[in-house]
Amino acid sequence: MKLSPEDNLIVVHVEIFYGDKSRIVQMALDTGATYLMLPWNVVETLGYNPLVSSDRIPMTTASGIETVPLFTLEKVRVLGNEVQNVKAICHSLPPQSAVDGLLGLSFLKHFDVSLHFLQGRLKLDN
C-alpha cells in the first residue's frame, strides 16, 4: 500500500466478513490499540450481535472510561491478507472522525508490519 510522509493518519481499507456478507471500512492503523474496533452500524449491518457477548472490557475514551463488548469476527482481510477469528470491540468513533474504526493488534499481531515512509510503503508479511 502506498503511504505519504505528509499524512497524519495511516488509513487502510479493511474487509470484514460474516457468513456470506462482507463490508469494506476505512480504519486507522493503530499499534496502540489492543483490538480491532468497529462501529455499531457496521457490526449490526453484517449481522453480528455483540450485545450477546458476555465479555466486556473497559475502554478509555476522551469522555472517560466506557465498558464495551468484546466479540470475535469470523474473518478480516487487509491488503490481500486474511485472518480468521479476530477479537474486536464495538464502539463508534465521533461522526467527524476520518475513519470508521481502528485496526489494532488483534489483527496486526499475525504479521510482520513494515512501514517504509521514505519509500511510501506499508507491507504485511506472514
* CATH number of the domain that residue 39 is part of: 2.40.70.10
Q: Is residue 105 part of a domain?
A: yes
Number of separate domains in the chain:
1
Q: Is residue 4 part of a domain?
A: no
Q: What is the pLDDT of residues 40-86, one digit of tens each?
A: 999 999 999 988 888 998 887 777 888 999 999 999 999 999 999 99
Higher pLDDT, 5 or 46: 46
Residue pair 124/112 in contact (Cβ under 8 Å)? The answer is yes
110 in a domain, yes or no? yes
Residue corresponding to grid cell 493518519? 9
Question: What does residue 42 show for φ and ψ, rounded to 5 degrees?
Answer: -70, -45
Look at residue 119 in the predicted model and tell me its pLDDT: 87
Q: Domain limits at 46? A: 11-125
Helix (H) or strand (E) holding 124: strand 121-125
Cell numbers standing for residue 44? 449490526
The answer to whether residue 6 is domain-embedded is no
Q: Tell me, what's the pLDDT at 82?
A: 97
Q: Look at residue 103 and tell me if it is in a domain.
A: yes
The residue with greater pLDDT, 4 or 119, is: 119
- Is position 99 within any domain? yes
User: Cα-atom radius of gyration of the chain, to the nearest Å?
Assistant: 14
Domain-located, residue 102: yes
d(CA 93, CA 39): 7
Residue by residue, DSSP assigns 31-71 as TT-SSEEE-HHHHHHHT--GGG---EEEEEETTEEEEEEEE
